[in-house]
Amino acid sequence: MEFQAGLHLPYMTMKKTTLLAIAILLSMGAFAQLQPTKLSVFSNGTFFEQKEGKLKFDHNTAHVDLPGSILQGTFWLAGNSDIKIKQIDVGVDTVKKVKNAQYLDDFLAGNEGKTVTLRFIQNLIASPNPTLRTLSGTLISFNKQSGLIKLKTTDGKVILINADNLNDIDLDANANDTFKDDTLIRRANIYLDKTVAEAPFNQVSMQTGLQWQPSYFIKLENDKDARLIMKATVENGTEVSYDKIDLDLVVGSPQLFFGTATDPVSHFFAPPPPSLSYNWDYEGDSDEELDYRGANFKSSRFRRAFTRDYTIAATTVNGSMAKGQGGGYGSGAGPGRADYYYIDGAKVSTGTYKINIGNEPISNTIISSNNELALDITVDKDYSSEGKKSADLYYYKAGKVSLPKNTKTVLPISQSTIAYKHVYEAAIGDITNYAYNKAILNDEAKTVDVFHSLKLTNKTAAPLTEASVFVVNENEDPIAQDKITYTPINEDVSIKLSKAIDVSVKSKENEIGKDEKARKFNKKTYDKVMLKGTVDIVNSLDKTITLTLKKALRGEVTKTDGGTVVKPGRFLDINPISLIKWDIDLKPGEKKTIVYEYEVYIAP
């Protein structure tokens, strides 16, 4: 296969690969002949999709649908080596999509041809006592964009009336709860340089909308062995249902230099410069138009193609004011409805809006009472990689899996027996921090938290990924919930079970010496202070334990009493950051004191 893409340019051949950049128009996805065959899902909300199949060509042209969230530069098509793609045009198209009815105009749109009773509020502005007008008959048609209702009454009259003041509807028991609505899709037209009836193609892309979350279950089977079970919760937030597709779940995160920035084929038109003026004219019921460079976008298309969401906040206005509802997006009413305000009989919409145009966020958008739309565009173009980082990616093979759209699917991943041992852990921070405080800070009454933990050695065939873990004992009584950190094969990981109140750890530090003007660093003179720390440990348990003790400090360690010193990373200050670690065996009732010493340079 030969991966290709297109941008209104003649094809270019480099060895066996034909490369063309995809056009910047728009669209969303329709009747793709290419079927998904494999998914590789990452835990950071991105996934890699592979499709394949045969495309049928008519006059050297074939059509495929495109996903709505392709990541920058990751969309590619592959055909046979003897097929050259001349260009690919990506444009918008409209299809009818069945949706669940939520609002009155939805039920009107879904019940054309049925018998209905409509009640309208009349004299809402002119009279302090509004009245109801009731109409019954067959609903011939309803135009959602204009709000025009065409009704044939029982006496044969045809009435045309606007839905603006519609209060409620009576429907038969067999009324439809769904309606067909126009939906924009992205559709790619593929042009070849020769005539073929059909040809096999592969399509690959990185997208957003699928992610997975791992979790572990540990059952202690005896004093040495535990049963380790892993499951994955796969969240399909896309509008695509996958049926029996080959699924890989990936540990780690790919390098995403552009973050989740989408490719031009996934965009609607880019936002115009802030200097351009906008007018949002309210004519009729809901025929708002956005005028931009002579192109008028009707309200329905503006809502679907440009508007993500916005909230109308009521403001105080002068004049007699009444509140009604009409087409549009609005807070409280949900998509498809908005609150309008009538001032002295004229309809206006006031408030603060939050919208997106194209793929860019626009904030602080205000509709004033004279219907002017002012835009203060704030665009964030910083991209960054997301998710856990590891040296390599590991793929869990989940097999053939069905993932319905907008669902969460739980999958078993692995089971294995793993060795463990009980350990006790305590970590002492740099409480004194002499380099900063220049004084000893001891709290004789304070004890250090000691945790009873399980130490596991990963002898499975795969690394353990960062995830929650639930632990039960031999009788399946719950013991703890904790977190497993990323653990390569043959490495150890600790899982905290509980605080060990029968193991006591107390620490203190004292100054044991000082050398004035001991060193120059960056043209400054420093004094050297020698410090001594002691850690008193008591095991009040009736069994022998091993305590893993860690002490963090800022300075140069000179004595460890059998501990191991680690300096994590490079530190450019005069005092290094150091960590001392001890593994201490304690018999029942045994007491031990650990001594360490270190040096700190301070500015006088």
Q: Do domains 102-176 and 504-602 have the same CATH topology?
A: no
Task: Please give the pLDDT value at position 255.
Answer: 79
pLDDT of 375 > 70? The answer is no
Among residues 48, 50, 74, 51, the alpha carbon closest in space to that of 393 is found at 48
What tokens were used for 271? Answer: 């936002």
The alpha carbon dihedral of 23, 29, 35, 40 has a sign of positive
What tokens were used for 522? Answer: 């960056």
- Residues 480, 500: contact at Cβ < 8 Å? no
DSSP letters, 58-126, are BTTEEEEE--S-BBTT--EEEE-TT--EEEEEEEEEEEEEEEE--SHHHHHHH-TTSEEEEEEEE-TTT
Task: Please give the pLDDT value at position 8.
Answer: 26
User: 79: exposed, middle or buried (C-beta count within 10 Å: 0-12, 13-18, 19+)?
Assistant: buried
CATH of domain 504-602: 2.60.40
Task: Please give the pLDDT value at position 339.
Answer: 38
pLDDT tens sequence across 244-265: 999 999 887 677 888 888 888 8
DSSP letters, 406-438, are TEEEEEEEEEEEEEEEEEEEEEE--SS-HHHH-
What gap in Å lies between CA 551 and CA 427, rounded to an integer? 6
What gap in Å lies between CA 443 and CA 284, rounded to an integer? 75
Task: Please give the pLDDT value at position 268.
Answer: 60
Query: Domain ranges in the chain?
Result: 2-94+184-209, 102-176, 280-376, 504-602
What gap in Å lies between CA 289 and CA 282, rounded to an integer? 8
**DSSP character for 43?**
T
Residue 381's pLDDT band, with cuts at 50, 70 and 90, is very low
pLDDT of 367 > 80? The answer is no
Percent of the chain past pLDDT 90, that is, above it, reads: 43
Residues 433-472 as b/e (b if ≥16 CB within 10 A, e otherwise) read bbbeeeeeeeeeeeebebbbbbbbebebebbbbebebebb
What tokens were used for 385? Answer: 């990689």
Between 370 and 544, residue with greater pLDDT: 544
Between 215 and 311, residue with greater pLDDT: 215
- Least confident range from 55-59, 77-81, 412-416: namely 77-81
Strand partners, 509: 533
CATH of domain 102-176: 2.30.30.100
Q: Strand locations in 485-563, DSSP E?
A: 492-499, 503-521, 524-539, 545-554, 556-559
What gap in Å lies between CA 8 and CA 11, rounded to an integer? 9
**N-terminal to C-terminal alpha carbon distance within the chain:** 71
- Residues 458, 487: contact at Cβ < 8 Å? yes
Percent of the chain past pLDDT 70, that is, above it, reads: 72
pLDDT tens sequence across 86-114: 888 888 888 788 889 998 989 999 999 99
Enclosing H/E stretch for 387: none
pLDDT of 533 > 90? The answer is yes
Between 443 and 499, residue with greater pLDDT: 499
What gap in Å lies between CA 384 and CA 255, rounded to an integer? 9
What gap in Å lies between CA 576 and CA 64, rounded to an integer? 60
User: 142: exposed, middle or buried (C-beta count within 10 Å: 0-12, 13-18, 19+)?
Assistant: buried
pLDDT of 164 > 70? The answer is yes
How far is the CA of 12 from the CAs of 40, 76, 188, 191, in angstroms? 30, 15, 19, 14
Task: Please give the pLDDT value at position 513.
Answer: 93
CB atoms near residue 280 (< 10 Å):
17
Averaged pLDDT, 470-481:
94
How far is the CA of 332 from the CAs of 141, 325, 339, 519, in angstroms? 27, 11, 9, 68
Task: Please give the pLDDT value at position 127.
Answer: 62
| Maximal C-alpha separation, the chain | 109
What gap in Å lies between CA 467 and CA 414, rounded to an integer? 14
Contacts of residue 261, Cβ cutoff 8 Å, sequence gap at least 6? 71, 72, 359, 383
Contacts of residue 445, Cβ cutoff 8 Å, sequence gap at least 6? none
- Residues 69, 207: contact at Cβ < 8 Å? yes
Averaged pLDDT, 11-39:
45
**How are strands ordered across the β-sheet holding 394-403?**
2-4, 76-79, 198-208, 46-56, 35-41, 242-251, 394-403
- Helices and strands (DSSP H and E) totals, the chain: 3, 40
What gap in Å lies between CA 381 and CA 359, rounded to an integer? 11
DSSP letters, 445-500, are T----EEEEEEEE--SSSPBPSEEEEEE-TT--EEEEEEEPPB-TT-EEEEEEEE-
Task: Please give the pLDDT value at position 125.
Answer: 62
Report the SS3 class of residue 259: coil
What tokens were used for 253? Answer: 């995160």
Task: Please give the pLDDT value at position 67.
Answer: 82
